[in-house]
Amino acid sequence: MVYAVETVLSHEEIRFDLTKTDPSPLEPGEKFDIWIDATNIEIYTIRNLKISFVNSFPFSITDLNQSSIIIDELRPGEKKTIKFNVKINKDINEGMYSLNLQYYSSKLSAVVSKNFDLSIKTINVIVSTTNIRLNPEKARPGSTANLEIDIINNANSAITDITAELMLDGTPFASIGESNEKKIRQLAQGAKATLTYDLAVNPDAALKVHKVPLSITYYDQLGSKFTRNNTIGITVYAKPEYNIDLESSDVFIKDQNGEITISIANKGNSDLKFLSVELLPGKDYDIISNPRNYVGNLDSDDFETVTYKIYTRTSKPAELKFKIDYKDTYNNDFSDNLTVNFPLYSKWAAQNLGLVKRNMMWIDIIAGLVLIIFLYKFYKVWRFERDIERSLITLYRNAMKWLRVKLKL
């Protein structure tokens, strides 16, 4: 911020030029930096020049250790810049006030004071934001949103050349199709204008309230330039999304007990916090284990499994009933009731699918009986024939004869 140069000329050997103050204009109660050039206008070198700031109402130095600046050497025609950080008393009215410096002049053998008149203005909030609207109210990552900001001129006269810039650098937002800088030629006293921005939200945007700076510059009727910095809060939010599925089971038929494993996967942008999964009672099964499992926090794109032990009461496909409790990123509470398909089969179907082993005991019993009968018949024939080969042939013929009689062939 460049301040009007003020030059103090005299027969002194040092010329002081006030170059700028920052910020500008100056307001009651604020701190500011002041830059002053010291130029040697004599033909000899000035050494050990000590320039001191004089506390005089309404100005005071912010750091007493920095109240004096020493220039070791200032050659003829040489210019050096000094800076002081100054505070303005808050209980003052608008007007011109003197800021005082002192230095010792070897030429005059006396302390010399230099005064600089500074204008102090009480600047009211001329332009203010009165209403902010975001559609949708909460922006979703990877989506678009429309931002509308109402500004109003609170001054007693018109303001001109208003520029409103939404500072999107470092934020997860980008302007769509147009600049993030809006211009208004003129705004009359008490008039209101609406700034409209179309924004794209980064797919990886964090779910939180993002602070976006809004800088508004304008000129008053005297041509003075002003800048007002505001902060706009834009909420990025995504509703939790997850899948719950039957991961595995060793229970397939009626009247069987065993374990089932359920998987829950977070497929959304929002974390699932304080997650718990409860298996609710159902007519098709009994719950043997603890029905409630606490999972904890489940991050986006992560999954966990929980296991239950149950006893089945049907051979038909059933549904497992669950209650899911959790919080989202903003600590909003959610509670969902849902079902998971639970395939159950008849004993015969489960055996055909290889889910249950076949009961082969009756086949073993029959095979054993056949073997015993065969050995008994063979022994009887062998006792008569006393020859193994003829005994087997005779036994075979008798068996064929018996089958033809039974089958009436």
How does pLDDT run across 177-230, given as a tens digit for each residue? 888 899 999 999 889 999 999 999 999 999 999 999 999 999 887 787 888 888
pLDDT at 352: 76
Q: How is residue 3 written in tokens?
A: 């301040």
What is the arithmetic mean of pLDDT over 32-57? 94
Looking up tokens 């499992």 gives: 293
User: What are the boundaries of each domain within the chain?
Assistant: 6-120, 127-235, 242-352, 361-407
Cβ(22)–Cβ(1) below 8 Å: yes
Identical topology for domains 6-120 and 242-352 = yes
pLDDT in tens, 355-393: 766 555 566 677 777 778 777 777 777 777 777 777 777
pTM above 0.75, yes or no: no
CATH number of 6-120: 2.60.40.10
* pLDDT, position 28: 86
Average model confidence (pLDDT) across the chain:
87
- Residue-level pLDDT at 93: 80
95-139 per-position pLDDT tens digit = 899 999 999 888 888 899 999 999 887 666 577 888 899 999 999
Tell me, which fold does domain 127-235 have in CATH? Immunoglobulin-like (2.60.40)
63-87 average pLDDT score: 94
Q: Per CATH, is 242-352 categorized as 3.30.2350.10? A: no
